[in-house]
Amino acid sequence: MQSDNTKSAASSEEASIIDSIAARESQKTAEQKAQDKSKCEQYVQNGLKRDVTVQFLYERLLQLGCRPPDDLIRCVDCGTKPVAGGFGVVEEIDVSDSTATRNVSTSSSSSPCAQTQEEINALIAKQKDGKAKLKLLPDIFLCQQNIQNETHARESMAHELIHAIDMCRTKMDPINNCIHMACTEIRAENLAGECHWVRELQRGRMGTNFVGHGAECVKRRAIRSVKANPNCAEKAAEYVDAAFDRCFKDTFPFDRHPNLR
């Protein structure tokens, strides 16, 4: 369990990051934002054409029988959200009358990054009231202003492709089943390279604790991701703890952990 001091420090750190991003984005011109998008799109193309891990995951997705759309991986403006990317866009199936209708719930910008916490909470409230059912559609986006370099882009792509594979091979329901969400986040954080000791060193997280740093990083980052789901936020750490041992050991579709190859 996280202490109150740890939670407070994490909240302060996140608030500081958001403020920093907001200040940076407010100073950018339209031309600079276009450059961010162009650079991000080039990273995506390079990853699909050159990176063996991204290529392996994409090909395995096809082998599993899940053919993604041509624009599966997109670069979008995420505003002040302090994230590198994300997976899935919420489809709302309206069941309030006898004729069910479907609606992909995004704001006017059509970017999944533009879904606010209030919008997500409202959708979940409609589902709890029996007025709608929610379904997560496969969609990968990278936040063009937050991608630091090509390595960062490729790790983010690998992370989201692991989510796509998990959705393809199982009847995963990460919106409503918090254990499902915890498991796929644990696997993505573990297998995409984001918790490699070099990355943790760059973040200033390593200290002197080299033993077990990978598992600690995976758990920390998975909890943060699960908290983004209003259905799971309150007990995110408990859900991650419950799923951790089994899902941390699950290296599918790799025969072993990619860092050990």
Q: Is 31 a catalytic residue?
A: no
In residues, how long is the chain?
261
CA–CA distance from 145 to each of 15, 28, 212 (Å)? 18, 10, 32
3-class SS letters over 27-63: CCCHHHHHHHHHHHHHHHHHHHHHCHHHHHHHHHHHH
The catalytically annotated residue of 91, 92, 155, 160 is: 160
**Quick one: DSSP state of residue 260?**
G
Q: What is the CA radius of gyration of the chain?
A: 18
How far is residue 229's CA from residue 236's CA, in Å, rounded to a whole number?
9
Please give the single-letter amino acid code of residue 252: F
HSE-up of residue 3 (Cα within 13 Å, Cβ side): 3
Q: Coil, strand, or helix at residue 244?
A: helix
Q: Which residues are catalytic?
A: 160
